[in-house]
Amino acid sequence: MIALSLAEIAEAVGGELRLAGSDSAETVVDGHGGVVLPGFVDGHLHMAQWALARRRLDVGAATSARHLVDLLVRSGLTGDVRAQGFRGALWPDAPHKDMLEAALPGVSVAVTSMDLHTVWLSPALLRELGIDHPTGVFRDHDAIAIAGAVLGAIAVSRRPKRS
């Protein structure tokens, strides 16, 4: 296996990689019939999300939506429940707001996936936000918007009251 950065590759033409650089402009790498794929190079950190995640229940061990709900119940948390870290792509069951309501009736629950691209809300939190949604599960751009709305709702609910 040969690892090259994009800065090192000048072009990929006809099955050959030509390397960039003043003394290696004509260097050709023989891939021996292999496939060139971009690697995942993403060394950034979302500081606000990292800080918030430290204050949320870690549910990364959940092996199903039902298991995640059990983890929430066993945590003993009441009031506003915030959790993060699930990886639901391979779960045998789909998350749904009714699962949260059955286990934690009337509790405001928001669960964010490990990659921040899915947010699962309880009916209580959906009502608080004024959102009508069939499942309570938001993905991708909708998840980002909902996560912002949840943060806004928390900020408003915790704002000091003035007399």
Helix (H, G, I), strand (E, B) or coil at 126: helix
The percentage of the chain sitting over the pLDDT mark of 70, rounded to a whole number, equals 60
Q: Tell me the pLDDT tens digit for each residue of 77-127.
A: 888 899 999 999 889 999 999 999 999 999 999 999 988 889 999 999 999
Long-range pairs of 92-95 with CB within 8 A, sequence gap ≥ 24: 92/64, 93/64, 93/65, 93/66, 94/65, 94/135, 94/137, 95/65, 95/68, 95/120, 95/135, 95/136, 95/137
pLDDT classification of 54: cutoffs 50, 70, 90: low
In which domain, by residue range, is 5 found?
1-41
User: Quick one: which H or E segment has residue 10?
Assistant: strand 9-13
Residue with the larger pLDDT of the pair 33 and 107: 107
Residues 37, 107 share a domain:
no
**Considering the domain boundaries, does residue 84 fall inside one?**
yes
Residues 140, 110 share a domain:
yes
Task: Work out how many domains the chain is built from and give that number.
Answer: 2
| C-alpha to C-alpha distances, 70 to 34, 46, 76, nearest whole angstrom | 46, 29, 10
Residues 66, 32 share a domain:
no
Cα Rg of the chain (Å, integer): 23
**Considering the domain boundaries, does residue 163 fall inside one?**
no
